[in-house]
Structure 1
């Protein structure tokens, strides 16, 4: 007999001590901020606004963020790195208000590679670059993505070590005409550090106030000279993060335990952060600077092992494992055909029978009769995980021809691979003959991308522009490949008990069979032209046009117009209008997964099929087309002395968004007609679903970013305010495809308002940070109940919340530094889940936008040399 246990953390004295110390610092900073600093005006030191250059969104010479015609956030690498959060995804969520990401417990592959939403759009609507070059997407297709990211296939941002980052640029505007597919919501560019000498080493440790989720991290950065005119920079990071549990006992598990069953784990199901093991990340950035041209080479390698909990399998009712009639009797497999008795699970009134009664009957079964109650009398909770590997390499040369044309030739290769595994589960159809350790490997997804670019630009003197007219043009060829590898035999095998009603495949995540396996690829080429002209010192305009030809769905042409007008020395207006697109991925167009089970005594398959499959086409499937968008933005910029303020309105209309269809049942007539057409596989299928272009949305919002630099509190002070208001409306949809429940998720799941106010203080050696985070109210369709009104609906309407982060540190003259801090200093939790005990045991809403693990304290010790 097997049972599971879980140690819930306890609050520790060190956690409480650091928490109270951080509270004291927060109170001091807040009180000092309220005091007028008249003496600062008499200080002889004149502060200059630091202007960080960025070329994102422009093919011409780099512009500062205040001088750009579109909104760009420029985030320094230290601002990303110096947080209690160790994953780049979570760090981005803190510093970019329009980016949302949450924990994703019990979300299949989305737990391994968490989807991030920029401006309320799915992760594959944001283009990711590294050093200005397109980043490959993850191998994971998020079939479960909180409703917002269902079916998306975006890049994996968590494979980049934050210690390697020089700065991160976030272009908050549509840019498909410049960069191609996926740039509907915007573009995120990660710039790696370029160091020819010196480096940094660091260790980090922290845990939640609750006493769990212990995290250890070690990071390093080394710079070496490459001849007299080059650099080679290497960064490494290793991390280990223990799981958390914010769970209560499920109501059905408690009912089973109340029968006297001592084997029911408490809690039976874990809601929390997954267990992250051997999380290794590395980058290399190499450059050689010549007289007329430069050579560059950069890339990454990362791997991690992640596993988390699944839904509890109740020993009194779980269909296809413990029962075959809704919990009336045990499901008992006859191993020899000699016949088996029936064992009741409930009495005449429908109440569960005492454990001893059922257990005694199980113990008296003849040897030819098998029930999983024998091995799992308290039920079981599968664990789902994956080994994630990611690698890329980019190389190229850039320089200038003798005729003044600048060039950039580059090639890249990137690959993401996820090897899934399951343990503490069964292939029920195999009966007692389970694999060793109840461990299964259901198979793998592999995404591979190759890109070649040739970019050219030159400035031309004209009679109608104040500065040279910049013209840029280029060509791109790209190939994507999505591969499915089948799992081990036990993960998909149709065992001898399948005909008796036992489920087939590794329970919870059936393996990919050889019929599911395959390689699907697509190539495309693109040509673009981009011009920028400053007609006067105060007025500039830019235009971009891009043509792309895709092997699977044809051509698309997109354009963009931007303008900026400097009203006076401090104020400027800017705006942009563009069209964009997101190409369906080869994975979305070709993924196939089949779950086999006996239904009404027949062996039938339920399949996710390519939309071009004849079976899918019978129910409306057709080749996927790109999502098309129209973007409009208008903004106001103020930059004067120590103030920098930008306010931008945006509106994004997306047509033909890709969705997963509902399940379509095949009738006998359907099967007969398909078999007559030569589609032999239809004879065994029960229902199918597929990806389809279905619904339209309009997203609009406002971004407000303000920075003020001052001499306050006896040191250098930076105040930063960043706010986002975002609203999405579904304009058109097919109820049979996505339904009203998903519409409400698309419109209300994310907080409409999110922002932060940060105070950074530097006293020379001492430094401190205080950040106030705000999250607006949110909606959750708990455990995908799938309805809007009715007794079976489980809506959660979460309230708005303020969270406080604080950090204090000291930098020694010899390069040593130490920092201590807390994320969510006051241990803020969302309101408790009203359905926690009654349904699946989640103490808090699992998809809360700011998490449900409470406060986290940490210490960071490092050395720069």
Structure 2
């Protein structure tokens, strides 16, 4: 329940403590001067000395927030990083897509302790366009308490690190302490009284013999769901008409439920002798995520409750798909499309028999096997059928043992519940050292696996009739990656250079494996009632059949050379060259040059130019998927399929084997570094060619439906449309970042002020007409806010700490609503008190003023969606939290 006086008091308290943030990229000048390891292979470089912009985020910046999901924590700190709730986005609800610099999730390379992190098994079939079809890592499995710092390289780095490093690189560095630690208990909930979060986290540093450390971390928690829906108009009409079995709301829009969220991390180091060190780190994580799907109307949902859109006056032919299921269009006498909502009166009853209009008949099954049951079915000439307004006929049908309607099982319709059990495990081991001659070497191997075991319940395989289960196991996606690396570095003395010429080089072998495991029989089976118009497979998320299942591998080899030196006392120069060979599409070669020139003691210029690439994943090349989406134009649900680009049906529409994306990156920046003030300004330009995405939707012909069923897409009989992956278009993404910090000492206290500003714009330079439509183009160009900024301060006064932040999110476009939504401003605040030097009590609020995004004016017509699910700042309102911490 909201308490505005209470919130106002908190606001005044936060302002009295001077508005602050949990850090915006850097908390103070000391952070800006942190030694970095990302983007350079020379030891001792700092963030202000780097040739490319590198943001250093301390571990405390994450811990001192109310949320526990690392993706959300990064969004609050790094303005060019975007992630949202994704309440109804198929597998994207389970592993949420995140974007850096306006590009796709898999355009950012993720490292842990400098080693490549494996990607998640989830492919983002739905992601408001920008993330559609991407497959990126899941960083939410990393507990924030395990982190020493995070380095965000805002620059293309494929020549240095390989595939995916187009938008930038994020390196998560784990703690290395051999003593001490902390234990935290955290509780929070939204001002609305829901979405409870309970988390227990801990970190401990232990000696690993007398020459090493073992730093161990854990986090265990759960998150309750939220509800920010309004009742759908069709559901409200059903209730008004006397259907008491319809839920209120019939469909929930809110954050998903997360149970058994366990995160374990270990980081180990051991000095073998004076010149060699053994290291190992890894993790185990699991969680169960469950969200909702769209409401299935008990009168009109085609393939389950509804028979078809039969003409009333015989003037027009019925619109049916290849299997006799209705295409969700209503046509008036002039041929114009009428949305479903406009065909209903205030009680949810179809309007009168207007000339040329169609109406739904109930889908009635004859269970006799020979159509001898005398059930009121629509005939082959589209005559007859059980009118949805015929209550007496419905009662008679339910009472007849030879006839069946799904209203018997779900009189109020149904809303499927969809989710998955996620398991993530990884391990890296290696040995590094230095020879007497000064050659530094590092040999390592890593293994990472992410698995998502899907489930869907409160739904049906309609083609099985009354024998259908209501809970299904659709199957499993899994991603397995193996890496082997040899990295070498040698400082070569050169007389005419101001420093040694550091020459680095190395080799990498990497193997990716994507696997689809068969679901249970009922989840993909084409049952005996399919010929009568009932949809096959588990409704909402069809299971993976034996023909769709499989295991696909790809290996690649890489070699690189990297040089860096101080040419003079004021001029730093670097260059990198990388060659990679992929067994499925060949070789790629990329390079990078970079420089930093100190003009004065307090002012320097820096810039980079590089080429980059991203290889398509085995999952993108081979996965099948069927998504049930809401069509805002017609007001109906539509089954859309995604098929491999080499599927014969895709080939007929332009599909072909996927190739690598190629990029050209350019940055130019300035650094102002004074005693108490540091300011960096960086311009970036990323030209990306042959971008991989999913095509627009194509309608299916009867022959294409038969071909898809034969290729393993057993639910194709119920598909209205399909799409496929394609290297279809070129884009230019450009913008600039401003980061500023200012530290002030006064009396017995100190304040650090911070500003972080990002502006990013993406333009479509070229595309293939017919493969991308206007909506996809608008998604890519307007789906994320162009401008984001944070302004904050951190005030320390004795044992008290006051934190606050003001965040701005620019407007954005939501393709599902087909609307643009306005900008948002949020205020966060936190107050902490430490006593006995070991105990800290923290109380804070995110979105302190309980702001919500703009409401969708057509939300009741658009599946009860009150707010856009793609709101960059979330749509759940204010969130308060209490944290207790004990430092060991």
Same fold? TM cut 0.5: yes
Match of 1:84 in 2: 66
User: Which of 139, 148, 165 is matched with 1:183 structurally?
Assistant: 165
Q: Which runs of 5+ in 2 are unaligned?
A: 22-27, 310-358, 629-638
Q: Contact (CA 8 Å) 2:361, 2:386: kept in 1 or not? A: no
Partner of 1:482: 514
Q: What per-residue deviation string (whole Å, max 9, x for no partner) do you get for residues 797-832 of structure 1?
A: 211121100000011124111100000000010111
Q: How does 1:684-833 map to 2 (within 5 A)?
A: 689-712=723-746, 714-781=748-815, 783=816, 794-833=817-856
Structure 1 residues 187-242: Cα deviation after superposition (integer angstroms, max 9, x where no partner): 00000001211211110001000111011000011111011110001100011100
Residues 1:834 and 1:494: Cα distance change in structure 2 (over 3 Å): same
> Which residue number corresponds to residue 330 of structure 2?
none
Indicate the residue corresponding to 2:342 in structure 1. Answer: none
Partner of 1:143: 125
| Aligned mate of 1:446, from 478, 489, 494 | 478
Match of 1:43 in 2: none
Shift in Å, 1:750: 1.0
- Look up the match of 1:98: 80
Contact 1:516 1:593 in 2 (8 A): no
SS at match of 2:306: coil
Deviations 1:75-97 (A, max 9, x none): 00000121012100000001000
What does residue 654 of structure 2 align with?
620
CA distance in 2, matches of 1:655, 1:754: 26
Measure the CA separation in 2 of the matches of 1:32 and 1:57. 29
- How far off is 1:439 after superposition? 1.0
Alpha-carbon separation, structure 2, partners of 1:228 and 1:58: 31
Measured in 1, the distance between the counterparts of 2:184 and 2:715 equals: 57
Conserved 8 A contact 2:155-2:665 = yes
583-592 or 95-104, which deviates more? 583-592
2:57 aligned with 1:57: no
DSSP-derived class of the 1:53 partner: coil
CA change 1:313–1:340 in 2 (3 A) is: farther
CA RMSD of aligned residues (A): 2.6
- 1:493 paired residue among 500, 525, 534: 525
Query: Given the superposition, is the C-alpha separation of residues 20 and 358 from structure 1 closer, same or farther in structure 2, using an over 3 Å criterion?
Result: farther
Q: Secondary structure at the match of 1:432?
A: helix
For 1:198, the equivalent position in structure 2 comes to: 180
In structure 2, C-alpha distance between the alignment counterparts of 1:352 and 1:668, rounded to whole Å: 27
Alignment of 1:37-52 (within 5 A): 51-52=33-34
2:10 equivalent in structure 1: 22
Q: Distance in 1 between matches of 2:703 and 2:395?
A: 48
Say whether the 8 Å CA contact 1:319–1:325 is kept in structure 2.
yes
Contact persistence 1:631–1:652 (CA under 8 A): yes
Partner Cα distance (1:309, 1:297) in 2: 40
Gaps of 5+ in 1: 1-9, 34-45, 597-604, 784-793
- Report the CA distance shift for 1:397/1:615 in structure 2 as closer, same or farther (over 3 A): same
Alignment partner of 1:360 out of 392, 395, 398: 395
Equivalence for 1:836: 859
The equivalent position to 1:641 in structure 2, one of 665, 675, 691, is: 675
Name the residue aligned to 1:332: 364
Change (3 A) 1:685 1:311: closer
TM-superposition CA deviations, 1:438-465 (whole Å, max 9, x none): 2101000000000000000011111221
Give the Cα–Cα distance (whole angstroms) in 1 for the partners of residues 37 and 729 of structure 2.
34
Match for residue 879 of structure 2 among 856, 859, 864: 856
Aligned length: 811
2:603 equivalent to 1:566: no
> Aligned in 2, Cα 1:720/1:595: closer, same or farther, shift over 3 Å?
closer
Alignment-derived partner of residue 284 in structure 1: 266
Residue 635 (structure 2) aligns with: none
Q: 3-state SS of the aligned residue for 1:67?
A: coil
Contact 2:19 2:829 in 1 (8 A): no
Counterpart Cα distance in 2 of 1:770 and 1:568: 34
Q: CA deviation at 1:618?
A: 3.6
**How far off its partner does 1:351 sit?**
14
Match of 1:319 among 302, 314, 320: 302
Distance 1:593 1:310, change over 3 A: closer
Q: Does 1:298 align with 2:281?
A: yes
1:653 shift after superposition: 0.4
Rounded Cα–Cα distance in structure 1 between residues aligned with 2:487 and 2:819: 50
Once the two structures are TM-superposed, the CA of residue 18 in structure 1 deviates from its matched residue by 5.9
User: Could you tell me which residue of structure 1 aligns to residue 293 of structure 2?
Assistant: 310
1:659 is displaced (CA, Å) by 1.8
Pair 1:680–1:56, CA change in 2 (3 A): closer
Cα drift, residue 623 of structure 1: 1.6
Distance in 2 of aligned mates of 1:827 and 1:844 = 14
Report how far residue 354 of structure 1 moved.
6.4
| Mapped partners of 2:107, 2:690: distance in 1 | 13
- The reply to whether residue 631 of structure 1 matches residue 619 of structure 2 is no
Give the C-alpha shift of residue 504 in structure 1: 0.5
Offset of residue 434 of structure 1: 2.3
Does structure 1 retain, via aligned residues, the 8 Å contact 2:564–2:574?
yes
Residue 161 and residue 309 in structure 1: after superposition, are their counterparts in 2 closer, same or farther (change >3 A)?
same
Deviation at 1:48, TM superposition (A): 7.0
Shift in alpha-carbon separation, 1:381–1:849, aligned structure 2, 3 A = same
1:590-639 residue CA offsets vs partner (Å, 9 max, x unmatched): 2134799xxxxxxxx98644323444334322221100000000000011
- 1:218-297 residue pairs with structure 2 within 5 A? 218-289=200-271, 290-297=273-280
Cα deviation code 1:476-522 (max 9, x no counterpart): 00000000001011111111111111101110000000111110000
Q: Distance in 2 between matches of 1:709 and 1:579?
A: 38
Shift of 1:182: 0.1
Are the counterparts in 2 of residues 340 and 366 from structure 1 also a CA contact under 8 Å? no
- Pick closer, same or farther for the CA change 1:814–1:340 going to 2, 3 Å: farther
Distance 2:820 2:696 in 1: 26
Query: Scaled by the length of structure 1, what TM-score is found?
Result: 0.90
Q: Which segments of structure 1 move beyond 6 Å, counting only runs of 4 or more?
A: 46-50, 350-355, 668-672, 679-687
Take 1:507 and 1:682, find their aligned partners in 2: how far apart are those partners?
14
Measured after TM superposition, the shift of residue 47 of structure 1 is 9.4
**Compared CA separation, residues 754 and 726, structure 1 to 2 (3 A):** same
1:513 aligns with 2:548: no
* Residue aligning to 1:372: 406
Structure 2 CA distance for partners of 1:83 and 1:680, relative to 1, 3 Å: closer
Looking at structure 2, the residues matched to 731 and 356 of structure 1 have their Cα atoms a distance apart, in angstroms, of 56
